[in-house]
Amino acid sequence: MPRLALVSNVGGCGRTSLVAHLARAFVEQGRRVLALECDPANLLGLHLGLAQAPEVGWASAHLAGQDWDAAAWQNSEAIAFLPFGEVACDQLTVLESMLRAAPRWLAERLEAQPGLGDALVLFDTPPWPAALACQAVAAADFVLVVLEAEGRAWVQWPILQESLAARACPYAVLVNRLDSGLPLERDCLTVLQHQLGERFVPYPVHRDEAVRLAFAQCVSLWDAYPHSQARRDIAGVATWLAAQAALAGGVP
């Protein structure tokens, strides 16, 4: 049961969309995939084809004393996923307090979950250092840091980098929504590549209107826009990730 967490130090950088599209790319590789939403925004289901965000998820089920199984979904692309569910602010505070007190709660819960076998688990997370993001990193075998090639992403990146190094968790950095026509973004990409070396994913995902169109139309980027730049980029990212030793389990 290899586990991949997508994290970032800022919101709005496309983490949830990437989780959904990478899940499809891994399914295309022949892998079993579970997308697990650790973000209270509860939007992953929309990126996986649901018409509206599900009310019931693993977090809402846990808080109600129910089993996770009742919250599980599988979409038409054979992607299994566990949404977060709708959780009131006061309940979210209770959940986060519990998670802060038990940093490996999610990892231990997954290890005790029957039926996952060799499935690749992808974690969608809120911005670092939220308690749920920390839980996903603690449970992960590999962390994919998602950044955009612009200023705000760099402010807290050194802090996140230090935290990942302290945890000795393998990680790499992916640049998302790259506009290669902008000199500043090209320069940021070059600097990151030079600084990170082998930790830099050599397939930046370009800004592509097809991603927004697919989401607005509730259709799969893979099926509706098979020749889009973003689809090709994400397929390359998935192939690169599959070659990482920490995620190699489950490949046919």
Kindly report, residue by residue over 189-230, the tens digit of the pLDDT: 898 899 889 999 999 999 999 999 999 988 889 989 999 999
pTM of the complete model: 0.94
Q: In this predicted model, which residue has the larger pLDDT, 156 or 56?
A: 56
Q: Say how far apart CA 159 and CA 115 lie, in whole Å.
A: 36
Higher confidence at residue 10 or residue 88? Answer: 88
Decide if pLDDT at 1 tops 90: no
Report pLDDT for 249.
58
Mean pLDDT of the chain: 90
- Residue entry with tokens 């590789």: 29
Between 196 and 168, residue with greater pLDDT: 196
**In a domain? residue 252:** no
The DSSP code for 156 is: S
Q: Indicate the number of domains in the chain.
A: 1
**How many angstroms separate the CA atoms of 133 and 40, rounded?**
11
Q: Domain range for residue 236?
A: 3-247
Distance from CA of residue 4 to its chain's centroid? 7
Residue 250 has pLDDT above 50, yes or no: no
Structure tokens at 118: 């060799």
- pLDDT value of position 227: 95
Distance (Å) of CA 159 to CA 8, 44, 93, 133, 234? 11, 27, 24, 14, 27
- Rounded Cα–Cα distance for residues 237 and 149 (Å): 17
What is the domain-level CATH number for residue 22? 3.40.50.300
DSSP three-state, residue 74: strand
